[in-house]
């Protein structure tokens, strides 16, 4: 094989911004982690579905998924001459499956999924434009027990693959909008109010909220560890229309505390960013010492405002961030098989848990060849020997 000039080699290896190759052993490590997560979901009654990478645009971006339009790559289908979109999030696809192909399946319907998504742009916290998602959706029930089940499953699944220091940050993205509507805030005032809340800017909040500043400052102040934060939020005198959302949050916190008293749960009642299509209790998952969110989830309707939609809740884990929260790949027992090793002997080694690497040429120094091929052992007449 002729040597490729360095510049030509670099040009071949260059990938678009936000895309990358996942190499050994990381690619195998990711596959194993995803498999273990799916296994944990299955143990909790969630059955896997596998939607396509590309769909017709009108189906992919219908209902609540319309908010993903700016993050969706579009291509023309040469067969049908219709526009298609490359998925940027798998949740709307699973919701579509539930309301179409599985519309007659018994409820509650528990589904799981895993796959790659592609987005037009990365974010400040996630510069990758292609990354893996793995998650679940619980479709049908509209009650706090379902929200708690989803949150507890997210925590237990992450623990099952070795993640430590998991914390759940809860919010109700419908709370602030409900209060604003009850107070008849104008669109401009609400836009300023939301910007102030997003930046946690008390001065800007006081200016935007005007005579209602003390109410919104009280809601903003009801943040922190769940038990105390729920008590502070319960003490806020807010319009009746918002009290149901507040009670939903309190009920979910109570159920989580009863089932997993050691799980770290915080409350941020004004967080709305990234929860545009959520309709109830929602959450973000973090791990101590890990930059960025491991995942997020919450309550929504499968069809958005469409009357055929159903209440649902679920979560999505981002495999790139999850991997940063885990120990690295464990070393495997790789043994070099000298050229001509009997196939039955190799099969016996694999049955014992060895990873076999067959030599493709006669080597004068088999131990050196084993090291060159990243093998920890060499097969000798007495069995695998360390090198």
Q: Tell me the binding residues.
A: 89-91, 119, 133, 137, 273
Torsion (CA) 233, 239, 242, 247 in degrees, nearest 10? 50
Residues 187-226 as b or e (16 or more Cβ within 10 Å = b): eebbebbbebbeeeeeebbeebbeebbebbebbbebbeeb
Q: Dihedrals φ, ψ of 88, to 5°?
A: -110, -5
What does the alpha-carbon distance between residue 156 and residue 162 come to, in Å, rounded to a whole number?
Answer: 10
Q: Nearest to residue 159, comparing CAs of 308, 264, 305?
A: 264
Cα-based angle 184, 62, 246 (whole degrees, multiple of 5) = 40
What does the alpha-carbon distance between residue 226 and residue 269 come to, in Å, rounded to a whole number?
Answer: 11
Residue numbers in the known binding site for L-histidine are 89-91, 119, 133, 137, 273
Strand order through the sheet with 73-76: 54-56, 83-86, 73-76
Structure tokens at 338: 């000298």
Q: Is 161 left (phi over 0), alpha (psi -120 to 50) or beta?
A: alpha
- Bridge partners, residue 283, by sequence: 170, 297
Q: Nearest to residue 58, comparing CAs of 33, 92, 29?
A: 92
């Amino acid at each position: 094989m002729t040597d490729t000039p360095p510049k030509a080699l670099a040009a071949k290896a260059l990938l678009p911004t936000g895309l990358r190759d996942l190499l050994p052993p990381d690619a195998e490590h990711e596959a194993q982690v995803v498999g273990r997560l799916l296994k944990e979901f299955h143990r909790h009654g969630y059955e896997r579905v596998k939607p396509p990478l590309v769909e017709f645009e009108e189906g992919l971006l219908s209902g609540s998924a319309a908010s993903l339009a700016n993050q969706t790559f579009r291509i023309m289908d040469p067969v049908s001459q219709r526009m298609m979109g490359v998925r940027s999030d798998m949740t709307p696809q699973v919701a579509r499956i539930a309301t179409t192909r599985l519309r007659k399946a018994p409820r509650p319907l528990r589904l799981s999924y895993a796959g790659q998504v592609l987005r037009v742009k990365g974010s400040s916290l996630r510069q990758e434009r292609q990354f893996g998602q793995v998650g679940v959706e619980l479709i049908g029930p509209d009650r706090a027990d379902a929200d708690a089940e989803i949150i507890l499953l997210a925590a237990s699944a992450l623990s099952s693959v070795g993640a430590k220091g998991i914390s759940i940050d809860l919010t109700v993205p419908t709370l602030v909008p409900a209060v604003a509507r009850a107070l008849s805030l104008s669109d401009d005032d609400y836009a300023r109010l939301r910007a102030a809340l997003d930046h946690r800017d008390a001065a800007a909040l006081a200016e935007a909220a005007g005579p209602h500043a003390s109410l919104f400052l009280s809601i903003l102040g009801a943040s922190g560890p769940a038990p105390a934060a729920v008590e502070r939020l319960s003490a806020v005198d807010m319009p009746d229309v918002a009290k149901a959302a507040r009670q939903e949050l309190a009920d979910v916190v109570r159920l989580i505390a009863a089932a997993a008293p050691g799980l770290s749960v915080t409350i941020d009642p004004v967080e709305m960013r990234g929860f545009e299509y959520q309709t109830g209790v929602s959450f973000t998952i973090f791990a101590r010492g890990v930059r960025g969110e491991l995942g997020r989830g919450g309550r929504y309707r499968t069809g958005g405002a469409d009357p055929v939609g159903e209440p649902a809740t679920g979560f999505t884990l981002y495999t790139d961030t999850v991997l940063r929260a885990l120990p690295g790949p464990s070393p495997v027992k790789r043994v070099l098989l000298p050229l001509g090793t009997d196939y039955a002997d190799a099969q016996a080694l694999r049955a014992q848990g060895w990873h076999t690497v067959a030599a493709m040429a006669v080597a004068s120094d088999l131990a050196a060849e084993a090291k060159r091929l990243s093998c920890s052992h060499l097969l000798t007449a007495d069995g695998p020997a360390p090198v």
